[in-house]
Amino acid sequence: MDKALYLKYAQIGIAELRKLSFEELANTEKDCATDKREYSVCWLRNEVLKEKEQQMVQEFVNQPDKLKQTYNEQCAGKLLAFVAEQGVTDFNQVEQEKVNLIKAKESEIFEAHPCSVVEQAFDKLGVRVNHYQKLD
């Protein structure tokens, strides 16, 4: 099959994938971990996912109140709730095993959607945040 035909069907596939939400696309990511073929369904999905992610970053940059709310509720809020569940009030008096558990949860939260996008928006704005504090 020639490249022009691939491109034609790729455009049709991209149009269909754009109809899906970011979450729907992201949920299929693990299915595409090893498929790196150009113009495959996974390749198209990854392209649309990157496009949607950048749109979300820009939306957060343009709407700081939404950025703050999402960060406080979905990112720092979830992490602080987990820390509270662990009974931690002072990190200086916590055994290393619990610190490691909390750090793993922090990575899990901030590497996933929407927190990974929130982090990109903060980076674009040149803002550094402490994951263990909500924004005022």
DSSP state string for the chain:
--HHHHHHHHHHHHHHHTTS-HHHHHTTGGGGSS---TTSHHHHHHHHHHHHHHHHHHHHHH-HHHHHHHIIIIIIHHHHHHHHHTT-S-GGGS-HHHHHHHHHHHHHHHHSTTHHHHHHHHHHHT----TTS---
Residue 34: the pLDDT is: 76
Assign 1 a pLDDT band (cuts: 50, 70, 90).
Answer: low
Q: Do the Cβ atoms of 67 and 123 come closer than 8 Å?
A: no
Q: How far apart are the first and last CA of the chain?
A: 57
What is the pTM assigned to this prediction? Answer: 0.81
Lowest mean pLDDT among 11-25, 27-41, 83-97: 27-41
Average pLDDT of the chain?
89
In whole angstroms, what is the distance from residue 134 CA to residue 136 CA? 7
Residue 91: the pLDDT is: 80
Assign 33 a pLDDT band (cuts: 50, 70, 90).
Answer: confident
Share of the chain above pLDDT 70, in %: 96
Structure tokens at 71: 């960060």
Residue 108: the pLDDT is: 96
In whole angstroms, what is the distance from residue 72 CA to residue 81 CA? 11
Residue 13: the pLDDT is: 85
Range with top average pLDDT, 2-11, 16-25, 77-86: 77-86
